[in-house]
A and B are shown apart, each in its own frame.
Chain A
Amino acid sequence: MTAGKPAPAPSAALFREQERRLGRTWETPKGWRYWSSVNNAQVGLWYTATSLAFFLFAGLLGLLIRAQLAVPDSTLLTAKFYNQVFTLHGTVMMFLFAVPILEAVAILIMPSMYAARDLPFPRLSSFGFWSFLIGGVFVCGSIFFNAAPDSGWFMYPPLATDTKQSGIGADIWLLGLSFIEIASIAAAVELIVGVLKCRPPGMRINMMPLYGWYVLIVGGMILFAFPPLIAGDILFEMERMADWPFFDAKRGGDPLLWQHLFWIFGHPEVYIIFLPSIALLAMIVPTFAQRPIIGYSWIVLAAVGTGFLSFGLWVHHMFATGLPAVSLGFFSAASEAVAIPTSVQIFVFIATVLAGRLIFSTPMLFATGALAIFVFGGLTGVMVALAPFDWQAHDTYFIVAHLHYVLIGGTVFPLIAGLYYFYPLVMRRVLSDRLGRIAFWLMFIGFNVAFLPMHFTGLRGMPRRVFTYPEGFGWEWLNLVSSIGAFVLAAGIAVIVYDVLWPRRAERRIKQNPWNAGTLEWLTTDAPWAVRTVPHVASRYPLWDDPDLARHVNEARYYLPDAAEEKRETLITTPLDGEPVQCLRLPGNSFVPMVAAIFIGASFVGTAFHFYWTSLAFGVVGVGVILYWLWTGTAIIPEKEQKDVGLGLKLPVYVSGSDSVGWWAMLITMLGDMSAFFSLVFGYFFFWTVHENFPPAGMDGPGVFWPSVAGAAGLAAWALMLAARRLNAMGSAMGLRAAIAVSVVLAALGAAALLYAPWVTELNPTLHSYPAIVWVLVLWTALHIALGMLMQLYCLARSFAGLLTTRYDIDIHNVVLYWHFAAITVAVTVAVIAFFPLAMRG
């Protein structure tokens, strides 16, 4: 049989039998057990709905802001409450809506675009969702107790580090959001591996839906953008709770370090939000132009280019901090350069529309509105990227207008276009076209009425974040117009909410591909298994190019027509050429990820309220739950080596090392971990640059001896892990166990020596930023060694339980991979804290 040609259809009896087995395997649980589902269809839906709920909540806060500012000298809100309202508005919109919804939508629809049954780590998605829900409710709920963060969404010290000026709200912000950031990194791992390895057979990288390209790039960006903020949060929280003076200028700290760490996250984040939304347009525009996208490679250029350049922009948020002009110049240059790839994708969309036969549907209407608003915001962006202009506009309503133009044009409108476009895919009915058009015009007009005048309010000097203003500056009518516009915009959103929540009785059930789109997601059916079979793909728009494809897929003539063993399965293919290489067994529904998220979440919440011991206990239980989850749900030894996936293709069920998805997940997680670590190292060198003497005179720690012992022991522990893997490969279980056992002891010794070094040299972290940053590096490294030891003990236990053998060796490969990074952490920490001061003294 030629590869990829559909097989003969199974007999009617076999077809029904296959569907019964698939149904039992992929069944969505009923009743309260529904919430144990880990399938992307349910988790993605909950995730999307939750982030939309947060969007509406933050929108209401926005209306409060506009109500307060409608007239001068307003007394509707107090200054203190207003501070909470605008802080939470920004925080929720950015952290609980814009970023999570991209993960949510990707989890929901990306497997369908690949005709995959699910993403490679369904339970990780579930864990991410529950973490997000817990953290989000915690952060949002604080405002009902008058305890919300109130220092602005970027939490600048020294205001936000002052525990008298900013109360518990700042801790809630730091800990609640750190928890959610971890969920984001989990989603990034899931999505990157999903894009690269879960495509259908035959889908080479030049045929991937553009959405996949964007998600891949954004996943990579999350790995390098979020960890600096986690590092910043750690420093921040240590200052607030333990008085370690990272940002306190009196004791050698520097508030600008926070600004750097925040905006190294904060600027790429804007593009992390924007790219997946524009990715929706890249799916919508070709469908309604009824032709393939013009300039597929140019979109790839745009995604890759924006992904990189967006990391060179962070200082443009700090133009007014007094940095040397040459530094501002570098960032100004990058800020102008990023306009190139950003505009390329807009031209691509316009060209596609011009070359096709445009169908002006509701999604397309929102897409067009999105581009109009975004281009306007982009142009003011080019203005504020110029430092001299920025000095005038900095912290005024001009910036507020600019950021709402890019975010609402770049994210909210495309997402609503996506909502109308993908609603039939997920909910099996179409939203009202008439209401959609009413909503669009209300939103489009309301938005411009609200935000266009803000440019002028800003140019007339109105600063952002003031809770009220006196008469006589010429701001009154501009503000009133903005407030009226905001309520019109809200009315438009209310129309959409109405349409979603109160479906008409005579709702239209839809057929499989209502828009006549060309990509695979429109093969999805009502059935719990989503696609009947996984097709072999031979073009970018398979449903257009092969009119029989949908029928062949539905007739069970492609891959994975059956679930003979009643185990959940999906195909793993190679990243470049989409050659099938594994039949991956996926874990089934479980409450374990939810329970793990509850305990880990409780430990974060408890820490915010200073219940340290309780938090520690919750954290330990949470880690225990995760270990149980790993033990029972991962690296399961299959009942057979190979599986016939259809079309005469036999694929292995268990693969390890760099062939396995788990190995890639570990690699990607550790890249994120490394960027957090190097952000802390950056903190050390930042202090070194701003001080004349660093380490300061009179602080002689942590010395060279104990850090060297720690370095030697840590690296020896790593070397022994390499030996353990090798011995295991050679068939020696005893060798594996012995090498791990010695490695555990050495690792413990290394961690102890590392902690002992600043202890014995009496470095007091509350005195100065130097001892504080040394202690943070030491604690970070010791924690990583401790995690490494936990993994070593896990491998030992798996070996004794017969679950880790020469043939079935996923665990040891992944743990050794972790230890590569742990070794880098140890080596860099020792080099920085012990040898760098030595080199500086010459």
Chain B
Amino acid sequence: MVFAFRRQADLWLLLTSPTVWALHFLACYILAAIHCAKAGESAELGAVRLWVIAFTVAALVVVAVTGANAFRHWGFGANDPPHDAPTAADRRRFIGYATLLVSALSFVAIVFTALPVLFVTDCR
């Protein structure tokens, strides 16, 4: 469960945020594609835009939580990279730091994905 703070910083944590990006991306694309295929070229996007915004808020929350989780594993920035010591603690800090970076990228990419519905209002 993403919302519970994971005790272990592992590869699944690293992959969580980009996976959320992928799911969000697919959800937005599929929803719009089905709507426009079924409703026709001149149809308004209407509720699709609200759904995309809702998906976006939900996705951003999950990514933010993952990022916060990662921030904690990193040690709240108390130690600087490179985190290359042969210890379990540095391994945890490294995964936390990398997850934080990946979460930031995912956050930006999710916002990017949502932008078209702010400007495009119909299925043309």
Task: Please give the residue numbers on chain A whose beta carbons come within 8 Å of chain B beta carbons, in ascending order.
Answer: 202, 204-207, 292, 295-298, 300-301, 304-305, 307-309, 311-312, 323-334, 336-337, 340-341, 537-540, 575-577, 689-690
Report A555 CB to chain B, min CB distance, Å.
22
Q: Is the CB of A575 within 8 A of B11?
A: yes
Q: Would you mind naming 30 contact pairs between A and B with Cβ atoms under 8 Å apart?
A: A204-B91, A205-B95, A206-B90, A206-B91, A207-B86, A292-B82, A296-B84, A297-B81, A297-B98, A297-B101, A301-B102, A304-B18, A305-B102, A308-B22, A309-B18, A324-B32, A324-B123, A324-B124, A325-B124, A327-B33, A329-B116, A330-B25, A331-B29, A333-B112, A334-B25, A336-B112, A340-B109, A575-B11, A689-B37, A690-B37
Q: Which residues of A lie under 8 Å from residue B32 when comparing CB positions?
A: 324, 326-327, 330
Does B120 have its Cβ within 8 Å of any Cβ on chain A? yes
Q: Which residues of B lie under 8 Å from residue A326 when comparing CB positions?
A: 32, 36, 45, 48, 116-117, 120, 123
Q: Which residues of B lie under 8 Å from residue A307 when comparing CB positions?
A: 18
Q: Is the CB of B109 within 8 A of A337?
A: yes
Q: Which residues of B lie under 8 Å from residue A207 when comparing CB positions?
A: 84, 86
Q: Which residues of A lie under 8 Å from residue B102 when comparing CB positions?
A: 300-301, 304-305
Does B71 have its Cβ within 8 Å of any Cβ on chain A? no
Instruction: Return the 9 tightest CB-CB contacts between A and B, nearest first.
Output: A329-B116, A206-B94, A308-B18, A301-B101, A333-B112, A337-B109, A689-B37, A538-B86, A324-B36
In the complex, what distance in Å separates the CA atom of A340 from the CA atom of B106? 11
Does B38 have its Cβ within 8 Å of any Cβ on chain A? yes
Q: Which residues of A lie under 8 Å from residue B105 when comparing CB positions?
A: 301, 305, 337, 340-341
In the complex, what distance in Å separates the CA atom of A328 from the CA atom of B119? 12
Q: Which residues of B lie under 8 Å from residue A334 when comparing CB positions?
A: 25, 109, 112-113
Does B50 have its Cβ within 8 Å of any Cβ on chain A? no
Q: Is the CB of B108 within 8 A of A206?
A: no
**The residue from A204, A292, A333, A540 contacting B113, defined by CB atoms under 8 A apart:** A333
Report B67 CB to chain A, min CB distance, Å.
12
Q: Which residues of B lie under 8 Å from residue A301 when comparing CB positions?
A: 98, 101-102, 105
In the complex, what distance in Å separates the CA atom of A340 from the CA atom of B107? 12
Q: Is the CB of B108 within 8 A of A204?
A: no
In the complex, what distance in Å separates the CA atom of A556 from the CA atom of B115? 60
Additional 19 contacts, C-beta under 8 A, given A336-B112, A576-B10: A204-B86, A204-B90, A296-B82, A296-B94, A297-B94, A297-B101, A305-B106, A305-B109, A330-B25, A330-B116, A332-B116, A334-B109, A334-B112, A334-B113, A539-B84, A540-B82, A576-B11, A689-B33, A689-B37
In the complex, what distance in Å separates the CA atom of A331 from the CA atom of B119? 15
Q: Which residues of A lie under 8 Å from residue B21 when comparing CB positions?
A: 308-309, 312
Q: Is the CB of B91 within 8 A of A577?
A: yes
Report A233 CB to chain B, min CB distance, Å.
23
Q: Which residues of A lie under 8 Å from residue B120 when comparing CB positions?
A: 325-326, 329
With contacts A206-B83, A340-B108 known, is A312 near B22, CB below 8 A?
yes
With contacts A308-B21, A324-B124, A329-B115 known, is A205 near B45, CB below 8 A?
no
In the complex, what distance in Å separates the CA atom of A596 from the CA atom of B115? 52
Report B49 CB to chain A, min CB distance, Å.
9
Closest to A298 in B: B101
The interface centre, meaning the residue of B33, B45, B112, B120 with most chain A CB atoms within 10 A of its CB, is B112
Does B57 have its Cβ within 8 Å of any Cβ on chain A? no
Q: Which residues of B, 49-74, contact A by the 8 Å Cβ criterion?
A: none
Report A520 CB to chain B, min CB distance, Å.
14
Closest to A299 in B: B98
Q: Which residues of A lie under 8 Å from residue B109 when comparing CB positions?
A: 305, 309, 312, 333-334, 337, 340
Which range contains the number of B residues in contact with the other chain? 35 or more
Report A216 CB to chain B, min CB distance, Å.
9
Q: Which residues of B lie under 8 Å from residue A298 when comparing CB positions?
A: 101
**The residue from B33, B91, B97, B117 contacting A576, defined by CB atoms under 8 A apart:** B91
In the complex, what distance in Å separates the CA atom of A337 from the CA atom of B116? 13
Q: Is the CB of B112 within 8 A of A205?
A: no
Q: Is the CB of A333 within 8 A of B10?
A: no
With contacts A324-B36, A326-B116, A330-B28 known, is A337 near B15, CB below 8 A?
no
In the complex, what distance in Å separates the CA atom of A780 from the CA atom of B26? 25
Q: Is the CB of A329 within 8 A of B119?
A: yes
Closest to B120 in A: A326
In the complex, what distance in Å separates the CA atom of A14 from the CA atom of B95? 43
Q: Which residues of B lie under 8 Å from residue A204 when comparing CB positions?
A: 86, 88, 90-91
Q: Which residues of A lie under 8 Å from residue B34 when comparing CB positions?
A: 689
Q: Is the CB of A205 within 8 A of B11?
A: yes
Q: Which residues of B lie under 8 Å from residue A327 when comparing CB positions?
A: 29, 32-33, 36
Report A408 CB to chain B, min CB distance, Å.
27
**The residue from B91, B93, B95, B112 contacting A337, defined by CB atoms under 8 A apart:** B112
**What does the 1/0 interface line of B14-32 toward A look like (CB < 8 Å)?**
1100110110010011001
**The residue from B37, B93, B116 contacting A333, defined by CB atoms under 8 A apart:** B116
Q: Which residues of B lie under 8 Å from residue A202 when comparing CB positions?
A: 86
Q: Is the CB of B38 within 8 A of A689?
A: yes
Q: Is the CB of B33 within 8 A of A324?
A: yes
In the complex, what distance in Å separates the CA atom of A205 from the CA atom of B10? 9
In the complex, what distance in Å separates the CA atom of A304 from the CA atom of B117? 27
**The residue from A324, A332, A575, A689 contacting B41, defined by CB atoms under 8 A apart:** A324
Q: Which residues of A lie under 8 Å from residue B48 when comparing CB positions?
A: 326
Report A328 CB to chain B, min CB distance, Å.
8
In the complex, what distance in Å separates the CA atom of A337 from the CA atom of B113? 9
Closest to A224 in B: B22
Q: Which residues of A lie under 8 Å from residue B11 when comparing CB positions?
A: 205, 575-576
In the complex, what distance in Å separates the CA atom of A728 from the CA atom of B29? 47
Closest to A292 in B: B82
Q: Which residues of B lie under 8 Å from residue A577 when comparing CB positions?
A: 88, 91
Q: Which residues of B lie under 8 Å from residue A576 when comparing CB positions?
A: 10-11, 91
Q: Which residues of A lie under 8 Å from residue B38 when comparing CB positions?
A: 689
Q: Is the CB of A297 within 8 A of B83?
A: yes
In the complex, what distance in Å separates the CA atom of A9 from the CA atom of B33? 68
Report A753 CB to chain B, min CB distance, Å.
31
Q: Which residues of B lie under 8 Å from residue A330 when comparing CB positions?
A: 25, 28-29, 32, 113, 116
Q: Which residues of A lie under 8 Å from residue B33 when comparing CB positions?
A: 323-324, 327, 689
Closest to A300 in B: B98
The interface centre, meaning the residue of A305, A307, A340, A690 with most chain B CB atoms within 10 A of its CB, is A305
Q: Which residues of B lie under 8 Å from residue A309 when comparing CB positions?
A: 18, 21, 109
Q: Which residues of B lie under 8 Å from residue A331 when comparing CB positions?
A: 29
In the complex, what distance in Å separates the CA atom of A319 from the CA atom of B91? 43
In the complex, what distance in Å separates the CA atom of A332 from the CA atom of B25? 12
Report B96 CB to chain A, min CB distance, Å.
10
In the complex, what distance in Å separates the CA atom of A292 from the CA atom of B85? 13
In the complex, what distance in Å separates the CA atom of A206 from the CA atom of B99? 12
Closest to B74 in A: A297
In the complex, what distance in Å separates the CA atom of A700 from the CA atom of B94? 57
Closest to B21 in A: A308
